Amino acid sequence: MPDGSRRAFLAAVGSGSVAAALTTSASAQETPAGGCPDVRQRRETLEAKQARLEALRSERAALEDRLGTLRATIDEVEGEWIAGQHEHDPETRARARVMAEKARESVVLIELQTPTGWSTGTGWLVGSGLVVTNSHVMADWNRATAAQAWSLGGDRSPVRLLGRVETLEPDVALLGSAIDAPPLPTGDSDTLEAGDPLVAIGHPGSYGNWVITLGAYAGRRGSTETELLTDVPSIQGSSGAPTLTLDGTVVGMVKAGARQEGDADPPRPADSTVRSGPLTPEATVLHDSIESIMNQVGRWT
């Protein structure tokens, strides 16, 4: 008999009420099935919480599945949107890669060493032993302690400066080298129309980091309209990279980025399978036209 019931029983006996004492004892001995009321209540509460926990776990699993589906849908829609913006379908990207893998044999990495370190840029063969690059790539020529060009195959050749436009208008320099590679064919930038796909091949960073970038022609800039505007992604170190059509003819050369004006939509990078590195959303890319380049080269040769 519990202590509390025993005390009640003894109190009843002490008061002389035997009947009351017997009633108290009988009540104390009647324990409901399943244990004491407070134990049973706690057990029921625990079971309810466990059931709720399982329900929440099921809901979480369903939401994670839904989230995965939504992410896949977003990636698909975004990919379609980017492709639609540039109209660069798989066939165009494939053509760009095939063309660029061949043309890159005539694209070189240029290294210039000064007392303060190395700087790099890109150049391309315009004739036998002649390499064109940006004038600003050779800005430290007078302080240079070494200058060299690397071919795709790993051949290295010292370079000598044959001519440089110090005003950067156009941003052209001509180098002499012993790199043995075929010159790139030149085209006609006047035939370009807005939306035409264009490709740049550069060497950002250092030797072995050649990169193909694909974008579209947008128009011209400058009082003489010798600068081409595109959204071809340009990566630091690609200064001097040739800008080519899909048939492999050079129509310009990468020179710089330029902030967009007006309310035009910011350019988007080309598909990641044919480019490496991001394009600054606020910028388009400037290229000197092939006509202005060859006009300048003609003065030095």
Show me where the domains of the chain are located: 88-301
Backbone angles phi, psi at 84, to 5 degrees: -70, -35
pTM value > 0.75: no
Tens digit of pLDDT at every position of the chain (301 positions): 555 555 554 554 455 454 444 454 445 444 454 456 788 888 888 888 999 899 999 989 988 888 888 877 776 665 555 445 555 778 888 899 899 989 999 999 999 999 988 888 999 999 999 999 999 999 999 999 999 999 888 889 999 999 999 999 999 999 999 999 999 999 999 999 998 999 999 876 665 667 888 888 989 876 667 899 998 887 778 899 999 999 999 999 999 754 434 443 433 333 333 443 333 333 478 899 999 999 999 999 9
The CATH architecture annotation of domain 88-301 reads: Beta Barrel (2.40)
CA distances from 211 to 55, 82, 207, 236 (A): 52, 20, 11, 11
